[in-house]
Amino acid sequence: MPSATANPYLEKTAPIGDKMSGWQIHKYRGISSLKFSNEIPIPKISSPTEILIEVHTSSVNPLDVMMMDGYGSKVLNLLRWKTENTEFPLTLGFDFYGVVKGKGNGVSKAFQIGDKVYGVSLPQIAGCHAEYVVVDQIYLRHKPEQLTDIEAGGLLYAGLTAWSSFYIWGLLGGLHGATTSQGGGKGKSVCILGASGGVGTIAVQMMKAENVNVTATCSTSAIPLVQSLGADNIIDYTKPNATEQFRGLTFDIILDSAGQGPAYAAKVPWQFGEYITLFPPLLRSIDSNGIVLGSLESLNSLLNENLEMLSKHKGFIMWGIFTPAPQGIDYLTKLAKEDKLKPIIDSVFEFKDMKAAYQKVIKGHLRGKVIVKIKEQN
Ligand SMILES: NC(=O)c1ccc[n+]([C@@H]2O[C@H](COP(=O)([O-])OP(=O)(O)OC[C@H]3O[C@@H](n4cnc5c(N)ncnc54)[C@H](OP(=O)(O)O)[C@@H]3O)[C@@H](O)[C@H]2O)c1
């Protein structure tokens, strides 16, 4: 007979306690709000398809840093309304590698206790900068053997940002057909601004796996790295004549992971099908003006930017937004298994040094991903 307090969704769990260590914020005050605690309740499986994972590695992303100042808080609170989760304390962290420690009674037999998995977590439910995280099985895959534990902790957030930019938000730009990881992008051309960062280094590899012609921008010191990823043409944005080097070039898609924005898209003498900015004003505008007014304001600015592009005979401006789609996770996993995609690692930090990892992201000039080792590797 199950006890009155037994979790009705749980199939089984490995023997673990009920408290864990992790890093959390209790208010929106930047890095000073990030605090360590070893008294955090281990998140509970609260639906049949959820899985409890012991987190071994995770990455720190610019979004974690922005969320410490309240970025996106209005929308996250809206997403929480049907859950028991409160705004604070908030555990950040979007992607991880770890080991299955518990499963709900509706979880596929494909996942068993002890399996090595990697996935994405959603901080409005539970972030992964802690010893344990619970995620739905749709956000989880077995770790490809081709990735080290460190690499697996840093692929999916940046990878899904690049994937959704190209294949969801980028459909107007004409990359359909290049989605098979069979080299279907022959004859297509993309430009990746910020090719040396977490998203950019993955975006270059994804597009080269599809035989897309890649032009990439980065600073002088990052040229050897971006070259090693296979970029066909590299433009050093720090040189005075950088924008002139785009004259006469036409791209199906430009992915802006360097924060240049629509004004830059209008100014540079290039042509494009679609310019996808990873800096949409939507969440910031909602934070300041509320859901309705904030959404209307940012949609209005998107409309005006597109009217300006139309008058200049350029392509569409579109927002790129991280989307944790299972198809994207499958796609990235397939590329990793084919040895066509590996996250570039900028630096690795110990769990106790989480703040230093956040500081590294704040300082910028990253060459790939910042990773935190949450549990010592076996
Ligand atoms: N909308 C979304 O859902 C979403 C999702 C993920 C990320 N993002 C945003 O996308 C941006 C990129 O993310 P990330 O994780 O790749 O950040 P990151 O790892 O910090 O990479 C940014 C890279 O851009 C380079 N860079 C800076 N200024 C540049 C310029 N003018 N031209 C070309 N390269 C430049 C930086 O190196 P140097 O400074 O040394 O040149 C760095 O390598 C972040 O700001 C993040 O907030 C948005």
- With a cut of 90, say whether residue 113 has pLDDT above it: yes
Instruction: Check residue 76 and give its pLDDT.
Output: 87
Is residue 164 in contact with ligand 1, taking CB distance under 6 Å? no
- Residue whose CA is closest, atom 18 of ligand 1? 197
Residue whose CB lies within 8 A of the most ligand 1 atoms, among 199, 229, 276, 318, for a mutation test: 199
CA–CA distance, 373 with 378 (Å, rounded to integer): 12
Q: Which of 377, 344, 349 is nearest to 159 (CA)?
A: 344
Q: Residue range 22-30: average pLDDT?
A: 96
Is residue 200 in contact with ligand 1, taking CB distance under 6 Å? yes
Q: What percent of the chain has pLDDT over 90?
A: 79
Is residue 364 in contact with ligand 1, taking CB distance under 6 Å? yes
- Residue whose CA is closest, atom 9 of ligand 1? 278
Instruction: Check residue 1 and give its pLDDT.
Output: 43
pLDDT class of 181 with cuts at 50, 70, 90: low
- With a cut of 80, say whether residue 222 has pLDDT above it: yes
- With a cut of 70, say whether residue 177 has pLDDT above it: no
Mean predicted lDDT score pLDDT of the chain: 93
pLDDT class of 14 with cuts at 50, 70, 90: confident
pLDDT class of 78 with cuts at 50, 70, 90: confident
- Residue whose CA is closest, atom 21 of ligand 1? 197
Contact 156, 120 (CB under 8 A): yes
Is residue 152 in contact with ligand 1, taking CB distance under 6 Å? no
Tell me how far the alpha carbon of residue 102 lies from the centroid of ligand 1, in angstroms. 36
Atom from ligand 1 closest to the CA of residue 200: 16
Q: Which of 239, 251, 279 is nearest to 192 (CA)?
A: 251
Q: Strand locations in 72-181, DSSP E?
A: 90-91, 95-104, 116-120, 132-136, 140-142
pLDDT class of 257 with cuts at 50, 70, 90: very high
| Amino acid (1-letter code) at residue 178 | A
Instruction: Check residue 180 and give its pLDDT.
Output: 58
Contact 282, 298 (CB under 8 A): yes
> 334-344: per-residue pLDDT in tens?
999 999 999 99
Q: Residue range 67-87: average pLDDT?
A: 86
Tell me how far the alpha carbon of residue 363 lies from the centroid of ligand 1, in angstroms. 12
Residue whose CB lies within 8 A of the most ligand 1 atoms, among 71, 160, 163, 196, for a mutation test: 196
Q: Which of 46-50, 116-120, 168-172 has the lowest mean pLDDT?
A: 168-172
Instruction: Check residue 313 and give its pLDDT.
Output: 86
Residue whose CB lies within 8 A of the most ligand 1 atoms, among 284, 366, 367, 370, for a mutation test: 366
- Residue whose CA is closest, atom 33 of ligand 1? 194
Instruction: Check residue 337 and give its pLDDT.
Output: 97
Burial degree of 226 (CB within 10 A; 0-12, 13-18, 19+):
buried
Q: What percent of the chain has pLDDT over 70?
A: 95
pLDDT class of 258 with cuts at 50, 70, 90: very high
Is residue 197 in contact with ligand 1, taking CB distance under 6 Å? yes
Residue whose CB lies within 8 A of the most ligand 1 atoms, among 215, 257, 319, for a mutation test: 257
Q: Residue range 228-234: average pLDDT?
A: 98
Question: What's the CA angle centered on 83, arms 163 and 14, to 5 degrees?
Answer: 80
Give the containing element (helix H, strand E) for 327. helix 326-337
pLDDT class of 182 with cuts at 50, 70, 90: low
Instruction: Check residue 2 and give its pLDDT.
Output: 46
The more confident residue out of 346 and 284 is 346
Instruction: Check residue 98 and give its pLDDT.
Output: 98
CA–CA distance, 376 with 131 (Å, rounded to integer): 11
Tell me how far the alpha carbon of residue 279 lies from the centroid of ligand 1, in angstroms. 10
Is residue 168 in contact with ligand 1, taking CB distance under 6 Å? no
Is residue 170 in contact with ligand 1, taking CB distance under 6 Å? no
Is residue 201 in contact with ligand 1, taking CB distance under 6 Å? no
Instruction: Check residue 360 and give its pLDDT.
Output: 98
Full set of structural domains in the chain with CATH:
10-155+342-373 (3.90.180.10), 158-319 (3.40.50.720)
